[in-house]
A and B are shown apart, each in its own frame.
Chain A
Amino acid sequence: MKPDESALQVRGLTKRFDRLAVDALDLTVRTGEFYALLGPNGAGKTTTLRMVAGLLRPDAGTVSVLGIDALTNPVAAKQITAWVSDEPMIYDKLTPLEYLEFVAGLWGIDPRLSEPSARELLVSLGLEPHLYERCEGFSKGMRQKVALAGALVHDPRLIILDEPLIGLDAVSARHVKGLLGDRVRSGCTVIMTTHILEVAERMADRIGVIASGRLVAEGTLAELRQQSGHNDTSLEDMFIALVDTEAVAA
């Protein structure tokens, strides 16, 4: 693979808290790809993504976002990256539109471009009736949608999502999946952790399985099936088999 084909290149990424959370991880995600990162609780998924997003400093390793060294030039890397966590972090006292105005301002986006984009995003996520209401009264699902709109309003080229569908109802989840699908089709790269294996199965171009801080399997669904030796097996069965094997090995 040529270097310019990768949206994210992680090499030897290591992070230790009380124990080793991420263990010399190598990971490559191609441009325009929807990549699902799966793993059991405490496998190191969130820690990995937080290091990629610049929220945690790794103990060792390198992170390259679209060719930019995210550790030595974090501002340039952050300019083209968006991060959405499972716990939507928004401001209770701002309205969704004010929140998006703030995010666009932080990313230095021209208001003439960001304002119509913000309105369009909020409308497409079903938040039109709440544009001028403060977020303090919003349900978790609505807050998650505001946070997601905030992540998309600055038109990032790499979107990192940590369990973005938690708390969303079926209709909202479909909206979000549709939005993410549209972004991938327009050339954007999406990396997402999820415990909803059906989402990974249906949306991801490639799937990575992480356990004990290491990538234990990676590939398209067909490739993973081939690796497991069972062509008719479900992703859930493969995931459980991989994680169990890793647990036994550990």
Chain B
Amino acid sequence: MSSAAALSWFARHEIRLAWREWLAMMTAGRKGRKRAAIIGLIVFAAIMHLPAYAVIGRFADLQAPLEKSTLIVMSATIFLAWALMLSQAIESVTRVFYARADLDLIMSSPVRLANVFSVRIAAIALSVMAMALLLSTPFVDVLVIGGGVRWFAAYGVVIAIGLSAAAVAIAVTIVLFHLIGPSRTRLVAQILAAIVGAGFVIALQIAAILSYGTLSRFAVLTSDAAAAFAPDLDSVVWWPARAALGDGEALLLLLAGGLILLGAVMAIFSPRFADTVVRVSANAAPALQGARIKAFRSGSRQQALRWKEFVLLRRDPWLVSQTLMQLLYLVPPALMLWRSFAESSDAIVLITPVMVMAAGQLAGGLAWLTISGEDAADLVATAPLPPSRVTRAKIEVVLIAIGAIFAPLIVALIFASPFQAAVTASGVIIAAASATAIQLWFRVQARRSQFRRRQTSSRLATFAEAFSSIGWAATAALALSIPIAALATGLMTACILVAAWKISPRRE
């Protein structure tokens, strides 16, 4: 086989693998669900046009030339999309290094490794772009329907920023390898991927709170101060926004820039990819130190279980990154709380739903890790204690962790508004308990490393968990403003839980 033929064969192989991974994720690895997954996806995409219309429909008539504040909002939105793509790309690159089982085979094959890894880099870029195109389709469709075919150029912008996000992710990850070594890179890359997407929004919210006393990031973007600091209208900074509006020249330049950036990264880093992979393999067994035990602890069997769960949670890089992300989301409300001590503000009410939502989401993740993600399931199942006590100890761990994270904020809230603190505390407890219960009803034994795929094992559980968190957050917010409406949303959320329990496999 010629070199070109070998490369094209390898590219096809990569695309096939990516397709099957995606399909497995969509069908939860079950055969015969391909058609259902595709229909579900089409229905989901169709439904997504409604929120897309609500969010972006009013901008469909925008025409060049735009005023600065509109350009700022558009550019910030595109930058946010880029940050999210970067987050996904960092995750993909890390997975290529650490989780792909075929690296040994590739490394031992008689092909030029630089070429093979160029294909793999391109495959990462392709998968990032494909996902971004998929998610952006409802939004672009709405713009095209409302504002004309010129908005098709937005797809070009998505491709261009996808190319650049993949290029930056590869460069960042390989530089991290060289700076801090393979074993630490995994953790840092996971944390980076988790916070990079959310960081931008949170930074805007913080700026909005500090400047305008509101959680709305648009307050900053549309402010006179932002317009004053923004570059001139002919600056390259506005190219993505202009390209999205149908400026062909800006779009071509943007696409060319993305391609050149990715090409440069491939040329510079492909030969080093092999070295990096070798270093990862050599460090696949990092001798990370645990605690130096002086003496075994005494205590009950449940205490032993709780201790184990806490140690594992503390040492779980995914959890560290997710907790950091959740804590990041709590920074704006915490800041708002701090401001409200100085000046009385109605906006403090916004803290409650944010905290309740965060508690539900975090509890869902923690509950999956402790209840379903048991790496030594046989050991625990053969231990001399009833399964109910094992489950109880694991639930206690989730609730203690949630309590430890949210208690300081709730205590601070007591000083600002005792009633709101009580409502928030109740909301946090109910949302966390609901998410934990859903995980318990839908539990499927798995390894903790499979956390990324937890959503695919039961879509019902995922939706129930999300709707429950949203429902309790809304209920808590309404309890502070329109108590009678809170009764209605509370009942609706309780009905969601009852429905989830009714259809769960663990009902018996």
Contacts and interface: CB of A to CB of B under 8 A. Distances in A.
B382 interface: yes
A105 B288 contact: no
Contacts of B312: 91, 93-94
B301 A98 contact: no
Interface string B290-329: 1111011111110111011001100110000000000000
Nearest to B289: A132
B377 interface: yes
Given A101-B296, A114-B296, A107 B384 contact: yes
Given A94-B308, A136-B286, A101 B297 contact: yes
A114 B299 CA distance: 13
A89 B378 CA distance: 7
A202 B379 CA distance: 29
Given A94-B311, A101-B297, A106 B383 contact: yes
Contact of B290 (A95, A114, A150): A95
B295 A55 contact: no
B375 A91 contact: yes
Given A115-B296, A138-B285, A92 B380 contact: no
B65 interface: no
Contacts of A92: 375
A102 B308 contact: yes
A179 B456 CA distance: 43
Nearest to B448: A92
Interface in A17-70: 53-55
B101 interface: no
Contact of B301 (A108, A130, A132, A136): A108
A196 B87 CA distance: 49
Contact of B297 (A82, A111, A132): A111
Contact of B288 (A101, A107, A133): A133
B293 A97 contact: yes
A7 interface: no
A137 interface: yes
A85 B378 contact: yes
A83 B380 CA distance: 11
B383 to A, nearest CB: 4
B61 to A, nearest CB: 55
B386 interface: yes
Interface in A113-166: 114-115, 118, 130, 132-134, 136-139, 147, 150
Nearest to A118: B296
Contact of A133 (B289, B299, B315, B384): B289
A237 interface: no
A134 B290 contact: yes
Interface string B267-300: 0000000000000000011111111110111111
A105 B382 contact: no
Interface residues of B, number: 38
A91 B375 CA distance: 6
| Interface range, A side | 35 or more
A33 B290 CA distance: 38
B290 A132 contact: yes
B376 interface: yes
Contacts of B304: 101-102, 104-106
Contact of B380 (A94, A106, A111, A137): A106
Interface string B370-414: 000001111111111110000000000000000000000000000
A21 B297 CA distance: 42
A95 B316 contact: no
B382 A89 contact: no
Given A105-B301, A108-B301, A89 B379 contact: yes
A147 B376 CA distance: 10
A137 B291 contact: no
Interface string A65-79: 000000000011011
Contact of A103 (B311, B315, B379): B379
A162 to B, nearest CB: 10
A111 B299 CA distance: 9
A53 B315 contact: no
Nearest to A106: B383
Interface centre among A76, A106, A118, A138 (most CB of B within 10 A): A106
A160 B384 CA distance: 15
B18 to A, nearest CB: 27
B378 to A, nearest CB: 5
A81 interface: yes
Contacts of B377: 89
A8 to B, nearest CB: 15
A232 interface: no
Contacts of A89: 375-379
Contact of A83 (B285, B297, B382): B382
A111 B296 contact: yes
Contacts of A79: 384
A81 B382 contact: yes
B384 A134 contact: no
A139 B287 CA distance: 12
A55 B378 CA distance: 7
Contacts of A133: 287-290
A60 B99 CA distance: 42
Contact of B287 (A76, A111, A137): A137
Interface string A169-209: 00000000000000000000000000000000000000000
B97 to A, nearest CB: 16
A168 interface: no
Contacts of A53: 378, 382
Contacts of B291: 95, 98, 132
A108 B296 CA distance: 12
Contact of A111 (B298, B381, B382, B385): B298
A101 B304 CA distance: 8
A130 B383 CA distance: 25
Contacts of B308: 91, 94, 102
B391 to A, nearest CB: 14
Contact of A55 (B286, B307, B381): B381
A93 B381 contact: no
Contacts of A85: 378
A235 interface: no
Contacts of B382: 53-55, 78, 81-83
A102 B307 contact: yes
A238 interface: no
Given A54-B381, A89-B375, 8 more contacts: A55-B381, A82-B382, A85-B378, A93-B311, A97-B290, A108-B300, A134-B289, A136-B288
7 contacts: A89-B376, A94-B308, A105-B307, A130-B287, A132-B290, A134-B290, A137-B285
